[in-house]
Structure 1
Amino acid sequence: MRIIKLSFLFIVAVVWTASAQEAEPNNQSVFDFFGDRQSTVYRSASGKPGPKYWQNSADYKINATLNPEKDLLTGNITISYTNNSPESLEFIWLQMEQNRFTEESRGTLTTPIQGNRYTGDMDGGYKISNLVAKSGRRGDASDKHIIEDTRMQVFFKEPIEANGGTATVSMNFEYTIPTTGMDRMGQLDVEDGTIFAMAQWYPRLAVFDDVRGWNTTPYLGAGEFYLEYGDFEYNITVPYDYIVVGSGELVNSGEVLTATQQKRMQQAAKSDTTVYIITPEEVGDPAKTSVKQSGTSTWKFKIKNSRDVAFGTSKAFIWDAAKINLPNGKTAMAQSAYPKESDGETAWSRSTEYTKYSIEHYSEKWFPYPYPVAVNVAADIGGMEYPGLSFCGYKSTEKSLWGVTDHEFGHNWFPMIVGSNERLYAWMDEGFNTFINFYSSEVFNDGEYQDDLDQTRQYVNWLTSESRESIATYPDVVSTRNLGMIAYVKPAMGLLMLREYILGQERFDNAFTAYIERWAYKHPTPGDFFNTMENVAGEDLSWFWKSWFYGNGNIDLAIDGVYPYQGSYLVVLSNKGEVPMPVKMKVVYEDGSEEMINLPGEIWQRGNSWNHLISTNKEVKSITIDPDKILPDVNGSNDSWPSTIYDEK
């Protein structure tokens, strides 16, 4: 398209835009340093753990018995706690999430009458007995404790000494296993028996950290978990014909697996394709699936440096497995346990394939997977993650099964390896995981199940809705209709923009990998993430954290006009949204050649309008902002010149 060179129009345009730019207030408040992120001895302004960073730990030994006839779990637990903090502790707090399943729990009383995803049974709750707490040099025993909703406070006769003091707490516990467990645990009846998805099944240490002290936020619903790291030994006793799969290594396979199953397991450990441990034809025949033919069996597991454990058990399981190839020549094992109802080549027969690929991809791209197994368990649960084990919907097939499997196992990186506080900052695990899921889906099986996160403009209706909330809203506070966007999609889009539009892939990957490596098996805050990304990438991103993660505004970059000037072209740009962005413009010339122009975000520091001169002796045919449509720009009609009707990608 030829431009008519009217100098009068050009002069008017230049004078008007220049005076407007001088008159409007500057945007210093948007670009000011965001948050209290200065160094302490515990956390550095560079984003690293500080020279005196400390973290407490909890090791667990648990024996539990599941009685499927009574829907009852009974057990005893011994917790060895190490206080690495610089202060002595007169008491500790434990999370008691099974107490959520009572009529009087805060979670029940704050659930809408019509219910929601986090509706659960109300006939459960812990019964605790024989509590013994010991600390100090004398080791005098105390049984003093207070149970308040989903928290337990345990007192000691002597404080746990600072800087390495230890304590032990032991108790017996039991509870009725929920059938409906808030879409995180529970029971599923199938033709060949009941599948028990067991999570939040034992008292767990709350985190004591340098940021909030004791983290005792109650378990209500959407807010997930924040736990200390430690080593686990746990034994699960079940009826003789039940199979148990769990977080960590099965250490007594010779006692609970038949000779045939052991042989198949050894074969699977060397196979890149799926091998049956229990075939569909064998399900329901204890003579082929069980070592014993009566009584009970005890399955023993271990896992190191983990924040939690979960398990699934049933006599209805088809069970298969394959080798996972990890960096540096190491291996692990992918496993799947599912009923006949979930079997099929478009369904759970591919679960182990999906699990294997997901773990291998994230291990290679971001950080090596640390656990010996990754087990996918079919259950009446949409999708829920625990270290080394996931529960996924038993009816899922094809793309939905790939998506939920990849997402739940991606959580092994966020928050199982990088141990952020899910109960407060859902975006630091759900959003980060949704982001890495996009790239795994891009490459799995040559794009068999591609993700559409990069089609960001499909979310414009939500981004402009009056009921939207910011990413920083706590998960238990946010409206359930907004949770998917603020915890998953919007933060994932933020990372996508950082990688593909703002920083570029190399700088982003360097910084994001550094964040994972620095905070592996530790407890980062949002500030630790912000500081790491800025320091490693070498970019002040306060404006982005402030506006996209903690604000509620939108992106709207615009081309207001293009004017001739002394054989060149003046492009008049404006930032009509609340989120400033660098400007990437694709210029197409009449001779067919193209040019990319990149303007930094700082053009908006002194106001929301900017003039850019394209120095060329060629005739410009068209100009487009963000030609790849990475940005969720809420008004695509002003992104290009000549102005055209916006064609959604």
Structure 2
Amino acid sequence: MEYTYLVLMKKNTIKAYKMKRLNILAINVLFLLVGFFGTAFGQNTSNYDYVKAFDPAFYQKNGTEYRSASGEPGPKYWQNKASYRISARLNDDTREITATVKMDYTNNSPNKLDFLWMQLEQNMFKDNSIGNAIIPLTNSRYGAKGEEFDGGYKIKSVKVAGVDVKYLITDARMQVYLPEVLNPNGGRLQMTIEYSYIVPQYGSDRTGILDARNGKIFAIAQWYPRVAVYDDVMGWNTVPYTGPGEFYLEYGDIDVDITVPSNHFVVLGGELLNPEEVLSPAQQERWKEAKTSDQTVIIRTAQEAAQAFANKDGKYVTWKYRLENTRDVAWATSSSFIIDGARINLQGGKTALAMSAYPQESSGGNAWERSTEYVKASIENYSKRWFNYPYPVAVNVASNVGGMEYPAIVFCNARSRGQALWDVTDHEFGHIWFPMIVGSNERLHAWMDEGFNMFLNDLSTQDFNNGEYYEGPQDANNLALSLTNPILEPVMTAPSGMNERNIGVLAYYKPAFGLKLLREVILGPERFDLALKTYINNWAYKHPTPDDFFHTIENVSGDNLAWFWRGWFQNNWRLDQAVTRVINNGSGAIITIDNLEQLPMPVIVEVTTRSGKTDRLTLPVEIWERNKSWTFQFDADEEIIKVQLDPDKVLPDFNPGNNRWTK
């Protein structure tokens, strides 16, 4: 999901950095006065505790038959399965969706089930919901902004095997009491729910309605009751939907029939089953052409969209879609859609169809007319680097949603253009890998999808169109002021427990930068890429936990990284390395460095000699395993005049003013 506070964070970082520079200048002046006649800095007090940092007891439990200590699913790993058949009808005048959902549920657990828990996320938009109750008065992205309406589900009936059953709705959850026990190890049932709800104009930046010139755009998500995950970690995962935490869902196949006004065009993340019933002959031919073209092909023109809007006839038509092995489904519909597409080239000779759906006013001036180009490039990149794209289509929808991801379809802001449109498109489609393929629990661990995805986005942006939108490497010293600000909660805090203004840093930027550190500084690209690809392959269409990720990276890379997980993810520790003494001798210099804060890191040292020659040395993080201060000999055949730590500013050292010594 795109996060609106990211831009604000960048601005605040710059402001904080300017303030910090003033302090650093003052410190440097003090050092100059104190050390005018010598080569040593004044003594620094260290907050570093190497026993705590390198405590080997990071993991709280051993591997089990369900989850191996190697990070792989265990030999008896299980998860339940939920497939859905949904028939829905949209009244675009009243904004009401009426629907029937039939769920086929398989209990693969070793436990019998007396009841099921269902997620009713639309109930967040009820006046008396928990989500509405905790929305702050300040500007928040959550809730239904700027309107009062009759929100939430109206449940008309709940049946199991055709028989009405008792149920209890509590906020955004529904407990359904089964007429008989659902047996373990493969027991199955079918549940049918009839319901309706009013689509919010702006639903927590994840679903909503955009007023467009040729008809409203309905971006429809969290639109049917979905079974909660029952797993070996928590049993029933019933944390309520309140806005900040996203979703945790079971996998299965989903068939959808959507009935809409006949002048609408429906896009859904899945295979269109009845194109001959809903597309004109010309559109069917263009659709086929797009599937084989590396260039964008217009499937539904601006003129056709304008004619459709003008020719509303009061009739309805049904669109039929299917998506297999998916955890969710979303869709969008409008009379105003221009539709275009192009072929996505995948690994192993496979292909998919990139599509974009947008109104006429979103086209032109380096805007949505390039959307399909972006979709195609993004998915081809991730498929080549990490894991093949699994769906038949990839649809980008222009809407009033800032950026939100679903299997095979995403919603992005209709006003985005240029780099902003590339960034949001690439980000939302990166979510296909995390969490659509690797199905982590977003409700509790937002960093396992948002942060991982942002890491992928940085590499993808470097590659796109010879770096058209790549802004170059970031100054990690500067970033550290925001990423390790003492007011932040730890990354592993659940998103519902984070101050809303901190979510952009903690769920997105900080974990993404942590993976960048692992890849570029700690492990190197070859070891890290293999470890991440192993994690994706092992947990594709499954439910990993943080420990499963940590174990995988360690086992594949061969490094014990407890110090890193503990400092960067589990705690909000800071890094401050300092050059504290340099003594020239006949064969170079004896250099002393201190670790002044709680986070250890490798040390990158650049040394300059009298003739201007520079040389570098990297010291492993293990020098801090039992030391707060480290002294080493640097060999040189002439006098050393400068020592610089972290010369390329790749480490999150929030106080770079003590990283340099000069003669």
Check 1:145–1:451 CA distance in 2 against 1; reply closer, same or farther (3 A cut).
farther
Distance in 2, matches of 1:527 and 1:111, equals: 32
The one of 47, 50, 70 equivalent to 1:46 is 70
Deviation at 1:293, TM superposition (A): 6.1
Match 1:98 to one of 99, 105, 122: 122
d(CA) in 2 for partners of 1:431, 1:577:
24
1:595 pairs with 2:615:
yes
2:153 paired with 1:126:
yes
| Aligned partner of 1:84 among 108, 133, 136 | 108
**Which segment drifts farther, 554-563 or 89-98?**
554-563
User: How far 1:47 sits from its partner (Å)?
Assistant: 0.5
Give, in whole Å, the separation in 2 of the partners of 1:476 and 1:24: 31
- Deviations 1:24-65, CA, capped at 9 Å, x for gaps: 996122111313242111101110001111010100000000
How is 1:111-190 mapped onto 2 (pairs within 5 angstroms)? Answer: 111-120=135-144, 122-134=149-161, 141-190=163-212
Q: Secondary structure at the match of 1:282?
A: helix
Q: 2:465 aligns with which of 438, 445, 457?
A: 445
Structure 1 residue 464 displacement after superposition = 5.5
Shift of 1:143: 1.1
Checking the alignment, whether the CA contact within 8 Å between 1:48 and 1:518 is kept in structure 2 is yes
- Structure with the bigger RCO (C-alpha within 8 Å, sep 6+) is 2
CA drift at 1:346? 1.1
Structure 2 partner of 1:3 = none
Matched-pair contact (CA < 8 Å) for 1:142–1:156: no
Q: Is the 8 A contact 1:133 1:154 kept in 2?
A: no
Residue 386 of structure 2 corresponds to residue 366 of structure 1 = yes
Aligned pairs for 1:260-299 within 5 A: 260-286=282-308, 295-299=315-319
Please state how far the C-alpha of 1:181 moved relative to its aligned partner.
0.6
Aligned to 2:447, the other structure's residue is in SS state: helix
The one-letter code matched in structure 1 to 2:214 is D
State whether residues 277 and 320 of structure 1, in contact with CA within 8 Å, keep that contact through their aligned partners in structure 2.
Answer: yes
2:580 corresponds to 1:560: yes
User: Is the Cα contact below 8 Å between 1:438 and 1:451 reproduced in 2?
Assistant: no
Cα shift at 1:629: 1.3
Question: Aligned partners of 1:599 and 1:465: how far apart in 2?
Answer: 26
**Structure 1 counterpart of 2:241:** 219
Say which of 342, 357, 371 aligns to 2:362.
342
Distance apart, 1:450 and its partner CA: 1.0
CA contact (8 A) 1:468 1:482 kept: yes
Shift of residue 592 of structure 1? 4.9
SS at match of 1:540: coil
Aligned partners of 2:155 and 2:194 also within 8 Å:
yes
Cα distance in 1, alignment partners of residues 254 and 419 from structure 2? 34
1:517 equivalenced with 2:537 (yes/no): yes
Q: How far apart, in 1, do the equivalents of 2:424 and 2:166 lie?
A: 43
**Cα contact 2:105–2:189 (8 A) shared by 1:** yes
* Equivalent pairs, count: 624
Among candidates 504, 525, 530, match of residue 484 of structure 1: 504
Going from structure 1 to structure 2, the CA distance change for 1:24 and 1:432 (only over 3 Å counts) comes to closer
**Counterpart position of 2:335:** 315
Residue type at the aligned position of 2:385 = K
Query: Is contact 1:235–1:299 with CA below 8 Å preserved after alignment?
Result: yes
Letter in 1 for 2:211: D
Structure 2: which amino acid aligns with 1:248? G
Q: Which of 323, 336, 348 matches 1:303?
A: 323
Unaligned runs of 5+ in 1: 1-7, 135-139, 644-649
Give the distance between the partners of 2:47 and 2:337, measured in 1 at CA. 67
- Deviation for aligned residue 1:462: 2.3
Out of 266, 270, 280, the residue aligned to residue 258 of structure 1 is: 280
Deviations 1:276-297 (A, max 9, x none): 011122222139x99x966111
Displacement of 1:616? 3.0
Local SS of the residue matching 2:394: strand
Identify the residue that residue 660 of structure 2 maps to in structure 1: 640
| Corresponding residue for residue 419 of structure 2 | 399
Match among 419, 422, 434 for residue 454 of structure 2 = 434
Is 1:606 the counterpart of 2:626? The answer is: yes
8 Å contact kept, 2:607–2:614: yes
- Give how far 1:461 is off: 3.5
Which of 2, 19, 32 is matched with 2:55 structurally? 32
Give the aligned partner of residue 501 of structure 1: 521
Is residue 142–residue 157 contact of structure 1 (8 Å, CA) maintained in 2?
no
1:209-234 Cα deviation digits (max 9, x unpaired): 00000000000011100000000101
Contact 1:276 1:321 in 2 (8 A): yes
Aligned to 1:647: none
- Greater alpha carbon shift after TM alignment, 422-431 vs 35-44: 35-44
| Residue identity opposite 2:53 in structure 1 | V
The answer as to whether partners of 1:99 and 1:150 remain within 8 angstroms in 2 is yes
State how far apart, in whole Å, the 2-side matches of 1:141 and 1:565 are. Answer: 89
- Give 1:409 deviation, angstroms: 0.4
Larger mean Cα displacement after TM superposition, 451-460 or 254-263 = 451-460
- Residue 640 of structure 1 and its aligned partner are, at CA, apart by 2.3
Name the CA distance, whole Å, in 2 between partners of 1:608 and 1:147.
56
1:206: Cα distance to partner?
Answer: 0.7
Q: Deviations over 1:59-107 (max 9, x none)?
A: 0000000010111000101100011101111111111001111100000
| Partner secondary structure for residue 456 of structure 2 | helix
Letter in 1 for 2:160: A
- The CA distance in 2 between the partners of 1:527 and 1:633, in whole Å, is 27
Deviations 1:389-416 (A, max 9, x none): 0000001010111000000000000000
- Quote the residue 1:5 is aligned against: none
Residue 574 and residue 519 in structure 1: after superposition, are their counterparts in 2 closer, same or farther (change >3 A)? same
Question: C-alpha displacement at 1:617, in angstroms?
Answer: 2.4
Amino acid at match of 1:29: K
Deviation at 1:593, TM superposition (A): 4.3
For normalisation by structure 1, the TM-score amounts to 0.92
Match of 2:217 in 1: 195
Name the SS of the counterpart of 1:281 in structure 2: helix
1:112 aligned partner, one-letter code: P
Which deviations, in whole Å up to 9, do the C-alpha atoms of 1:318-372 show, x marking residues without a partner? 1100110000110001100001111114110011111110000000001110001
Kindly provide the amino acid, as one letter, of the partner of residue 99 in structure 2: G
In structure 2, the CA distance between the partners of 1:168 and 1:24, relative to structure 1 (3 Å rule), is closer
Superposed CA RMSD: 2.3
CA distance in 2, matches of 1:560, 1:37: 41
Q: Percent identity?
A: 49
Match of 1:419 in 2: 439
Offset from partner CA, 1:173-203 (integer Å, 9 cap, x none)? 1011111111110101111110000000001
CA distance in 1, matches of 2:69, 2:480: 35
Between 1:220-229 and 1:341-350, the stretch displaced more is 341-350
Deviations 1:532-588 (A, max 9, x none): 001100101101111111111211111112112342311110111211001122233
Residue 648 of structure 2: SS of its match in structure 1?
coil
Deviation at 1:620, TM superposition (A): 2.9
Match of 2:561 in 1: 541
For residue 469 of structure 1, give the secondary structure of its aligned residue in structure 2.
coil
Hey, what's the Cα distance between the residues in 1 that align with 2:308 and 2:619? 69
Deviation, structure 1 residue 159: 1.1
SS of residue in 1 equivalent to 2:495 = coil
- Which secondary structure does the structure 1 equivalent of 2:216 belong to? strand
Alpha-carbon distance in structure 1 between the residues aligned to 2:389 and 2:572: 36
2 CA distance for matches of 1:262 and 1:351? 21
